[in-house]
Amino acid sequence: MIKAGIIGSTGYAGVELVRLLTQHKEAEVVWYGSRSYIDKKYYEVFQNMFQIVDDKCLDDNMDELAKQVDVIFTATPQGLCASLVNEDILSKVKIIDLSADFRIKDVSVYEKWYGIEHKSPQFIDEAVYGLCEINRDKVKNARLIANPGCYPTCSTLSIYPMVKEGLVDVSSIIIDAKSGTSGAGRGAKVNNLFCEVNENIKAYGVATHRHTPEIEEQLSYAAGEQVLINFTPHLIPMQRGILVTAYANLKKKVSYEEVKAAYDKYYANEKFVRVLDKDVVPETRWVEGSNYVDVNFRIDERTGRVIMMGAMDNLIKGAAGQAVQNMNIMFGLEESMGLEQIPMFP
């Protein structure tokens, strides 16, 4: 039985980690970390855990935690994991970090986009970017995983086959993305109040969103050259879900069958990436509560472009589910263990 500790267990991603791991037949949570609720019973924070989780919330003492568990999940704001991790801890335990601290390989890029000093840059090169479908072999032997961001997961998986196969002009990529309000976290913010969000949609982080360099870096690896994109996210009045619609110029005239073959080349054997039937567009309602990503494409012969689409649950495949998927790979378990939930509807 894998013993797991969670730092940041009372955020939205944290409670999803608890929910998934509580139902995992080869893992158990033994440390529910939360600075805000120390000594309060977990079910008193989340009543859905009544008579399921009776443990009390603890602090974020990573040194002590490393002595008690096999894996630590850090579902915390940027900077915390980097400030806590050290060689002694990594020699004892595996870490799956759900923040951006180890996703970007150039520390100066991280510090520029996130506006904070990186506290442990010596571990950046070692950290494995945990996009399982692409880096599975590297994840297997890792001791530090940078769990991808929600927008980058959906964006990269939607676009990856086209870039990897060299079918699109990478300088022309434009990503339009939309997310439910849980993507902003559980902290109280005026902009996320019901009256501010309901009956409204807005772009935010225009040309400045901090997931931009993460997406660019992953697509650059796929392309074998530097990729710069336009990425514009939007906030929509729903609790969870991400929809990505991306555009790029085709390098040559291609048929539906050629593009479908490219997607099938990378995803035909992937449990959690579903390439939809022709002309079926991804919808967030068909992936909610699951670890699935639905992707598809449409060729626009009139403009010579391809439209690439993806939908997923930002809290599952975009955070906690992908973290559990990484854990399964790291410990040699069936990759889908604990993640078999069928999407919820309605």
Could you give the dihedral angle defined by the CA atoms of residues 236, 324, 126 and 141, in that order, rounded to the nearest 10 degrees?
-150
Q: How many CB atoms within 10 Å of residue 231?
A: 26
Domains of the chain: 2-126 (3.40.50.720), 151-313 (3.30.360.10)
pLDDT in tens, 73-95: 999 999 999 999 999 999 999 99
Residue 301's pLDDT is what? 97
Residue 192's pLDDT is what? 83
pLDDT in tens, 182-224: 988 888 788 888 999 999 999 999 999 999 999 999 999 999 9
Band of pLDDT at residue 21, cut at 50, 70 and 90: very high
Catalytic residues: 150
Band of pLDDT at residue 44, cut at 50, 70 and 90: very high
Residue 250's pLDDT is what? 98
Cα distances (angstroms) measured from residue 38 to each of 8, 75, 77: 11, 16, 18
Kindly tell me the sign of the dihedral angle through the C-alpha atoms of 312, 42, 325, 342: negative
pLDDT in tens, 111-134: 999 999 999 999 999 999 999 999
Helix axis angle, 132-140 relative to 321-330, nearest 10°?
Answer: 40
pTM over 0.85: yes
pLDDT in tens, 277-296: 999 999 999 999 999 999 99
Residue 145's pLDDT is what? 98
Cα distances (angstroms) measured from residue 256 to each of 198, 265, 297, 298, 309: 38, 14, 9, 8, 15
Residue 185's pLDDT is what? 85
pLDDT in tens, 219-263: 999 999 999 999 999 999 999 999 999 999 999 999 999 999 999
Residue 188's pLDDT is what? 77
Mean pLDDT taken over the chain: 97
Residue 186's pLDDT is what? 84
pLDDT in tens, 57-70: 999 999 999 999 99
Q: Is the pLDDT of residue 308 over 90?
A: yes
